[in-house]
Amino acid sequence: MTRVLVVGGGIGGLWTAVKAADGGFDVELVTKTELAETNTRYAQGGIAAALFPDDSADRHFADTLEAGAGLADPAAVRVLCDEGPARVRDLIRFGVEFDRGESGLERGLEAAHSRPRILHAGGDATGAAIESALVATVRRRAVRIAERTMLVDLVVEHGTVVGARLLDEHGSITEHRADAVVLATGGSGCLYRHTTNPAVATGDGGAAAWRAGAQVADLEFTQFHPTALAAPGTPLISEAVRGEGAVLRDRDGRRFMLDVHPDAELAPRDVVARAVWRTMAEQGGAPVLLDATALGARFLARRFPGLDAVVRGAGFDWSREPVPITPAAHYAMGGVVTDLDGRTSLPGLYAVGETARTGVHGANRLASNSLLEAAVFADRAARALVAGRAPAPTLSAGSGDLRRHAIRRPAHDGVSPESPDRADTSMSTVDRERLRELMWVRVGLERDAAGLAATSARLDAWRAPDVRDRRTAEDRNLLDLARLTVAAAIARHGSVGAHFRTDDPAEAASPAAPAASVAPELEAA
């Protein structure tokens, strides 16, 4: 029986595991913490699909391409938008109860969508509802599940991935053989000091794939969500709140987005996030304000029950007063390069969800396309697995491709617990919090050549720890991904989408706020 190892328990991993098990495969699913603790669980905004009579896949296609700032792959976007409605119907069959009104499924509007097409569950608990339904579905299948088990490295023999080395909760590293490995480990939001992601988002799959020789691309495109609550943990305040009519104000009460973009608060995320960033800099780093008071207490509690509890729990009555917000790292548009069936450049290796770079997001992800992408391409990957092993495709990732030789890996990096003699004690081991602060200040919403060069030098001066436990394994991954992200940002000289270079001549007429002026206030927040 064909053995499939799925690494990751979010929507992409769960979907693949269910479909592969239904295809008669021997499936093992491993997840770093408890099965439900994934980025999927924290997705508030919803899932986008053209399901309604006044909408179409063509409109969704056009909106996605426009948001991607010219770098989205039209073929991948066409697959996403055409197959998306069927995958949403599958979710309903899996047991996801999307919100309904008197006329059927309710839908909302979010930034850069030309039509209301966003489905929600539990108001603002869409991800949690999807995760719960898929966990229940996978537990009804003959799938072996290993929780608190982390990917360390892929096992490659004769150029083909034949399994993975996994770290269990007791610190033991064992080799798990498989005919195919599917990476669904999520993104790398924890690269940054301020993130909406849970602590598990350390980019484990992307780092391991790159070390194994797989192509990665577009790592310079990190999406920063414009509205995270400026409170401990920077909890996300969904785009849907602005979709319902909330507005952004500076500390003097001025609605500044009206001067930035015709769509104001519903402009593409990169535009809104940078406007928030710059306004904060003009205010000496003080957070800007999200004003939802016009929506009223009753509506906020009904439409956003989870958020209402979070905001009130942080000490704010957002029905009566605007609340302080700040941008935060939210989503990785880049990752392991795949074809339209989830296959990577290495035979035997697949990637789905945020781990993958399918090409649908380009330089800036359209709101609520992430859950849809994971479902659509996980389904295609599972179908490709069932159809039989095929040679690895020849992939083209354009100028965003980062092959292994693109990064200078210091010879003293600790790459495994078996090689402690390779550690150079003259170099300091990477400090995670210093790395995250460095990435936030120099490789965040705005970058320039001097800051990127200084960051690259600092990263090269750190060595990765030898892998002994989850913490050291994550630190190694974060250092690898930080180096890759900086290299990608250096290579792309012009500004596009979420990658904004203040030293781009085209931006000379638009004064940039120095990133360092924002960081101290954010630290205090």
**Cβ proximity of 182 and 29 under 8 Å:** no
Cβ neighbours around 433 below 10 Å, total: 8
> What is the C-alpha separation between 490 and 494, in angstroms, rounded?
10
Question: Residue 353, SS3?
Answer: helix
In tens digits, the chain (525 residues) has pLDDT values of 799 999 999 999 999 999 999 999 999 999 999 887 777 887 777 999 999 999 999 999 999 999 999 999 999 999 999 999 999 999 999 999 999 988 889 998 888 899 999 999 988 889 999 999 999 999 999 999 999 999 999 999 999 999 999 999 999 999 999 999 999 999 999 999 999 999 999 999 999 999 999 999 999 999 999 999 999 988 999 888 998 999 999 999 999 999 999 999 988 888 999 999 999 999 999 999 999 999 999 999 999 999 999 999 999 999 999 999 999 999 999 999 999 999 999 999 999 999 999 999 999 999 899 999 999 999 999 999 999 866 677 776 655 555 543 444 443 344 333 333 343 445 799 999 999 999 999 999 999 999 999 999 999 999 999 999 999 999 999 999 999 999 999 999 999 999 999 998 876 544 443 333 333 333 332
269 is catalytic: yes
Domains in the chain with CATH codes? 3-221+333-399 (3.50.50.60), 222-329 (3.90.700.10), 411-492 (1.20.58.100)
Strand 323-332 relative to strand 288-291, pairing: antiparallel
CB 110 within 8 A of CB 367: yes
Place of tokens 């500390």: 251
Q: What is the pTM assigned to this prediction?
A: 0.89
Comparing C-alpha atoms, which of 438, 449, 515, 448 is closest to residue 478? Answer: 438
Q: What secondary structure letter does DSSP report for 164?
A: E
Q: Taking the alpha carbons of 315, 319, 324, 330 in that order, is the dihedral positive or negative? A: positive
- Among the listed residues 107, 269, 343, 365, the single catalytic one is 269
